[in-house]
């Protein structure tokens, strides 16, 4: 099954991107990525920029509402996502537990809605 | 008031499993017994502060829970079920009258039900934790890294199966006993550490469960003192427990076994483990858990001799891998052979392990990295360190490996 890991990172962890050379957090991420790929669990993923570059758009009564910042306020910031292909949700949760961001942030695992994907994509 | 609350808590903690095992053993309805017992505990919380704590709190709870069971059956309005339950309860009352206020301990029988072949092996341990120890589904879900709602549903289904299939609350007959007991011991050992290997470190949440697992093993040993593997398992867990404090520096850094100071191992735990293991050996029926305990016993010897007898360890691992060729045993064997005969010999054993089976098995990569570095294969070692680091959940163990890799 495919699922997405939404990776919420603490401010301190996000800061380590500024000087990635010596940061153990970044080294742990490199190793984590290798292990994911080697185990055949990795499909794709991207880190998201850490600055205040998030903007949320809504349409209410035909009018645009544009808001600085993320959709939901949280102490941690959505710092990236990874799409996994794993045998079970439990296997996905195992990977979430191993994620370096899980120590001071949090990792949300959501199964991908394959049926709805097909409804949208199908001609 | 305060005292009554404390007594309810104490009795619940000490007797929950015994009460539940006894209540469910005749009806096979574990879920019904759980409901009845929790109602009885709530009733105690309101009545004891008012009327005082009864002289026999357990007997009080048992009676209250039985009344709930009769009510449950009545509410279901299933006539034969009611008759059956009432007959059971009447028989039990007679039995209780004979023995005064004590009632038989059927926790071992309940453990055999939890680890019955008709129950999904993945649920053996969760069922034990919930029924015998009274842990709630959410806490069990955390330990098993499963969504709490999912764990709750699985437990409900398993208990329905116990009732509908009428799984027997009994210690299995001799011809089935070895296999059935093995399933019970496997499930208890799974609670102990939940697959966390010594190399990966043990976190605080798993440590609570480790204590509970030791307690479960004691329950089985009390009932079946003549079974050597029960004592073997208890010894194995006690040896591991003896090193609990030594696995971390005061500031939380991970310390591998070879770097641990034996002075920080718990002497009483080691002594108890040695006693259990030598009692088991008297029966002269070797098994997987006795062998694993013997291995830990050799490690514990270092506290007295100052050295590790690698030759003895190699021999024990050979036996163990022949008897129970688990990934854990094979990887630990490779690490041991490397100590006794050099890293090349250890790597040869690792090479014989199927790569697909270790794709997510951290200890394999940690040991590989260590041995590859020793033979001077630095690129291979760095690769293996990365695999190990990426598969590590415990932050202290991850930090340890990151530093080793350099």
Average pLDDT over residues B163-176: 91
pLDDT bin (cut points 50, 70, 90) of residue B118 is very high
- Greater model confidence, B347 or B136: B347
How much is the pTM?
A: 0.85
pLDDT bin (cut points 50, 70, 90) of residue B338 is very high
How does DSSP classify residue B122?
H
> Could you read off the pLDDT of B72-114 as tens digits, one per residue?
777 776 656 666 666 666 656 555 544 445 778 899 999 999 9
Nearest by Cα to B317 from B304, B327, B332, B301: B332
Are B146 and A28 an interchain contact pair (Cβ–Cβ within 8 Å)? no
pLDDT of residue B70: 85
What is the rounded CA–CA span in Å between residue B277 and residue B293? Answer: 7
For chain B, the domains span 2-105, 106-192
Nearest by Cα to B233 from B178, B285, B192: B192
pLDDT of residue B79: 58
Taking the Cβ of residue A58 and every Cβ of chain B, the question of whether any pair is shorter than 8 Å is answered with: no
pLDDT of residue B89: 64
Taking the Cβ of residue A12 and every Cβ of chain B, the question of whether any pair is shorter than 8 Å is answered with: no
pLDDT of residue B272: 97
Mean pLDDT (chain A) is 89
Say how many CB pairs under 8 Å bridge A and B.
54
Are B391 and A90 an interchain contact pair (Cβ–Cβ within 8 Å)? no
pLDDT of residue B198: 41
> For A105, how many CA atoms within 13 A lie in the half-sphere containing its CB?
25
> Could you read off the pLDDT of B182-225 as tens digits, one per residue?
999 999 998 887 645 443 344 455 567 888 899 999 999 999 99
- Greater model confidence, A27 or B84: A27
Domains of chain A: 2-121 (3.30.70.1060)
pLDDT of residue B206: 59
| Distances B150 to A1, B6, B127, B195 between C-alpha atoms, Å | 17, 33, 14, 20
CB-CB neighbors (< 8 A) of A24 in chain B: 399, 402
Q: Where do runs of H (alpha helix) occur along B77-203?
A: 79-98, 107-114, 121-131, 137-144, 148-164, 177-191
- The residue in chain A having the minimum alpha-carbon distance to the alpha carbon of residue B386 is A31
What is the rounded CA–CA span in Å between residue B396 and residue B254? Answer: 5
Taking the Cβ of residue A39 and every Cβ of chain B, the question of whether any pair is shorter than 8 Å is answered with: yes
Could you report the predicted ipTM of this complex, rounded to two decimals? 0.85
């Amino acid at each position: 099954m495919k699922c997405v890991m939404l990776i919420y990172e603490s401010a301190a962890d996000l800061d380590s991107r500024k000087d990635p050379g010596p940061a153990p957090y970044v080294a742990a991420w490199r190793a984590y990525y290798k292990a994911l790929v080697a185990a055949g669990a990795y499909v794709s993923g991207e880190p998201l920029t850490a600055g205040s570059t998030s903007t949320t758009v809504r349409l209410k009564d035909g009018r645009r509402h544009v808001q600085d910042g993320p959709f939901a306020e949280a102490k941690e910031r959505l710092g990236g996502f990874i799409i996994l292909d794993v045998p079970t949700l439990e296997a996905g949760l195992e990977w979430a537990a191993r994620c370096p961001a899980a120590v001071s942030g949090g990792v949300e695992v959501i199964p991908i809605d394959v049926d709805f994907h097909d409804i949208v994509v199908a001609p | 008031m305060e005292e009554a609350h404390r007594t309810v808590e104490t009795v619940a903690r000490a007797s929950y499993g015994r009460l539940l095992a006894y209540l469910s053993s005749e009806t096979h309805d574990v879920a019904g017994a759980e409901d009845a017992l929790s109602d009885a505990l709530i009733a105690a919380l309101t009545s004891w502060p008012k009327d005082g704590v009864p002289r026999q709190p357990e007997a009080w709870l048992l009676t209250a829970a039985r009344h709930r069971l009769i009510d449950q059956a009545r509410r279901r309005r299933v006539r034969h079920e009611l008759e059956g339950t009432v007959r059971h309860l009447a028989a039990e009352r007679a039995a209780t009258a004979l023995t005064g206020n004590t009632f038989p301990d059927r926790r071992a029988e309940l453990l055999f039900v939890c680890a019955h072949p008709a129950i999904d092996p993945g649920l053996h341990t969760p069922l034990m934790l919930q029924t015998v120890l009274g842990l709630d589904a959410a806490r069990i879900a955390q330990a098993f890294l499963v969504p709490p709602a999912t764990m709750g549903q699985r437990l409900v289904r398993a208990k329905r199966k116990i009732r509908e299939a009428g799984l027997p609350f009994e210690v299995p007959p001799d011809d089935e006993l070895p296999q059935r007991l093995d399933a019970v011991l496997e499930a208890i050992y799974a609670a102990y550490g939940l697959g966390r290997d010594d190399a990966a470190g043990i976190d605080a949440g798993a440590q609570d469960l480790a204590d509970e697992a030791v307690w479960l093993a004691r329950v089985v040993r009390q009932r079946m003192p003549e079974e050597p593997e029960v004592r073997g398992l208890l010894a194995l867990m006690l040896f591991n427990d003896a090193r609990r404090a030594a696995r971390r520096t005061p500031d939380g850094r991970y310390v591998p076994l070879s770097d641990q100071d034996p002075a920080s191992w718990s002497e009483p735990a080691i002594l108890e483990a040695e006693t259990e293991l030598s009692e088991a050996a008297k029966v002269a029926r070797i098994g997987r858990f006795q062998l694993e305990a013997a291995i830990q016993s050799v490690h514990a010897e270092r506290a007295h001799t100052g050295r590790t007898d690698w030759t003895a360890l190699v021999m024990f691992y050979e036996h163990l891998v022949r008897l129970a060729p688990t990934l854990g045993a094979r990887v630990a064997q490779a690490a041991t052979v490397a100590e006794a005969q050099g890293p090349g010999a250890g790597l040869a054993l690792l090479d014989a392990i199927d790569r697909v089976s270790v794709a997510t098995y951290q200890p394999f990569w940690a040991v590989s990295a260590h041995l590859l570095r020793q033979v001077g294969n630095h690129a291979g070692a760095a690769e293996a360190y990365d695999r190990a680091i990426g598969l590590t959940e415990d932050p202290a163990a991850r930090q340890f490996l990151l530093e080793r890799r350099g």
